[in-house]
Amino acid sequence: QVQLVESGGGSVEAGGSLRLSCAGSGINFGTACTAWFRQSPGNKREGVAAYYPIGNHPYVIDSLRDRFTISADNVRNTLTLQMGSLQPDDTATYYCAASDCPTGWVLLAEPNFGNWGQGTQVTVSS
């Protein structure tokens, strides 16, 4: 049974930083595609960043690339999202996701990830 547990959310002022962590069990992060998504009230869940096992390749969506960094520790089976220069628009519930990834890549889209954490809340005040 796959379990993903996020931690590190909280409340910060605009301009601050947060580091989210996801601890996985029942799935090997060394061969899985893993990702962070976020969802704010009234909006669809959107992909933020992904980590692909082949070549240990990180990917962050264009609009966040200068502020967010994704990394993975395949030994500890953890996934991290370092977020900087946070803005109120970053307020959302952030979810860790993972998927078996036989080709080493999947499109960063919700239907492509079958395993999800419970989410961690990030609130950024102005």
Tokens encoding 126: 């102005």
For residue 14, report the phi and psi dihedrals to the nearest 5 degrees: -55, 135
Beta carbons of 83 and 122 less than 8 angstroms apart? yes
Cβ-proximal residues to 91 (8 Å cutoff; 6+ apart), any chain: 40, 122, 123, 124
Instruction: Return the exposure string of 16-41: e unless at least 16 CB atoms fall within 10 Å of the residue's CB, then b.
Output: eebebbbbbeebebeebbbbbbbeee
What is the rounded CA–CA span in Å between residue 53 and residue 31? 5
pLDDT in the model for residue 62: 97
Instruction: Return the exposure string of 42-66: e unless at least 16 CB atoms fall within 10 Å of the residue's CB, then b.
Output: eeebbbbbbbbbeeeeebbeeebee
Note down pLDDT in tens along the chain; length 126 residues: 999 999 999 999 999 999 999 999 999 999 999 999 999 999 999 999 999 998 889 999 999 999 999 999 999 999 999 999 999 999 999 999 999 988 888 999 999 999 999 999 999 999
Beta carbons of 115 and 23 less than 8 angstroms apart? no
